[in-house]
Structure 1
Amino acid sequence: MPSLAFYGSSLLSAYWNGAATYYRGLIRDLAGRGWRTTFYEPDAFERQQHRDIEPPDWAEVVVYPATEAAARAVIAEAARADVVVKASGVGVFDDLLLEELARTARPDAVRLFWDVDAPATLAEIGASPDHPMRRILPDLDLVLTYGGGPPVVDAYRGFGARDCVPIYNALDPDTHHPVPAQARFEADLAFLGNRLPDREARVEEFFLNPAAGLPERRFLIGGNGWEWRALPENVRRIGHVPTADHNAFNTSPRAVLNIARDSMAATGWSPATRVFEAAGAGACLITDAWTGLEMFLTEGEEVLVARDGRDVAAHVEALTDERARAIGDAARRRILGQHTYARRGAEVDALLRRALAARRAGAPA
């Protein structure tokens, strides 16, 4: 059974950690394909106080103190693994993890960087001639990304990566699926996302402005950070929404809204986890426009697309319960057929086994 040491933000908590369900879907599927994963996550940002799950039976989880000594101790354990993964955005000692894991891994082990925010990472690398990634990339076997399509692949190869493969978000149908509506989440339009500097202007354009212009409609916003922001009177805020409540959050409103962060919208091919969660629950999804959307959902049939806030308002005013159900049902069929973590896991499994075989044969992966 091949072993995988995965150093990431958190597997146990989605609190200020949108990548959690992505990690869970992939690692759970890989366990079914024979991989033994140890996930190393720091005790930081109050994530352990806001766990969504307890340690699962499909991965070992090591929670370490957010200190340099503790980070170095878990880095030493990488020498036991067949594949060593450093994810972006761990949040503490990222550069230390990146540089030391590459050195600590066994000579026959596969070393890879898994980027869950590639547009932002690439902007950092481009702005910093002495960024540690520039030194380390050519020695890594592989870069995997949360998305980003051809622009991200080309950029990583331009910085010296041997190869870069997008592994897109997907649906775990055992976790996200239709459930009965709950009154606490009812609204004409709901949005779930943390308040972040590179998203807030787009939230204002695509959510808050339409809400202000439609005072007779009900709007709902979930996520961290919005308690400190003035909102229109018809927008109800509910704070952090645990993963266990995501299905009800998606099925209860007439429609839910996806808003990409600035860099992901500009790059394209970057569907958020929320897109697949909403579609899996059979929700009617309205999304801001971004290049590559048709790879995942068809505009007008499986998703409604808004180029600006006026489009969002028009969709909200025109949408009937019947049309919302039809769009949600069509989206669910498409995602179940083409975009599950079983499909993504098969892709990752093949990539890692191929890289391992090349390593063990003494050839470049």
Structure 2
Amino acid sequence: MKGKRVLITGAAGFLGSHLCDRFIKEGFHVIAMDNLITGDLANIEHLFKLENFEFHHHDVSKFVHIAGELDYILHFASPASPIDYLKIPIQTLKVGSLGTHNLLGLARSKGARMLIASTSEVYGDPNVNPQPEEYWGNVNPVGPRGVYDEAKRFQEAITMAYHTFHGVETRIVRIFNTYGPRMRLNDGRVLPAFIGQAIRGEDLTVFGDGSQTRSFCYVDDLVEGIYRLLFSDYAQPVNIGNPDEITIQQFCEEIIKLTGTDQKIVYRELPQDDPKQRRPDIEKATRLLGWTPKVARAEGLKITYDYFKSLSQEALAKIEHKDFTTFNK
């Protein structure tokens, strides 16, 4: 694949930056794009010196132009945490709709293959567990999560329409809870929220009674699954996540043990439409891609905690307490 050109949107974000690293490692020319609403250039600044890397500060909800040939597009531009999409709901809807439309048009004009980042949130608060790709979901379109959930559901629909009607080569990955270095401590998701509270010596906040479940996949495993899916021949959605399911209560206790802290666990009311269960059925990924997660949660959490501990005190001081009182997503 050396010399092939790939556009990665949302490139300065958590997942986008790791994808940039992977495609650079594989010999691609990486065109990174981000409007930096939630992304951080610090995540990709180590790549700026490379000849096969370029960065475009641009909002994909507006017309996207890339000069020259383009072989692949990975669309990862979107707010992904409750704090972000509740703060900027219109932008969240626009990047999933207008942004996806613009990039599909670019893929069509360039003859490029496009992979979109969908999410386990398309399943909503599921009535089945684990969630297979054939499950259509239980989503409230007008609830607080609707701006994100429906943006992703529309994104899948328009992607399949371009695939079937225009013959564009497309791939759809449904991403389950992912963690690792470069997450933002203040993004409202359960893992960085717990670790952030532990580092600052605060009590850990659990929403509901802690019986709701999540399944956490380490970022390197996720990137491997995405890479394999991009180069597969399968156009239907594929779950990529770790099926090792754990309750929020158990996970909170793991974080307390990991960090060596003795904070209390405090409980707050469960937010509206918060999923009670989240566990991927990865039979398709295993059968079609030969993919299964390799990094155990204990190993991945240790790496992630060490990363957060390495952040400067100045960076930690910028994190506001209110940012942790949102959702156990």
Q: TM-score, with normalisation over the residues of structure 2?
A: 0.43
Q: TM-score, with normalisation over the residues of structure 1?
A: 0.40
Query: Larger Rg: 1 or 2?
Result: 1
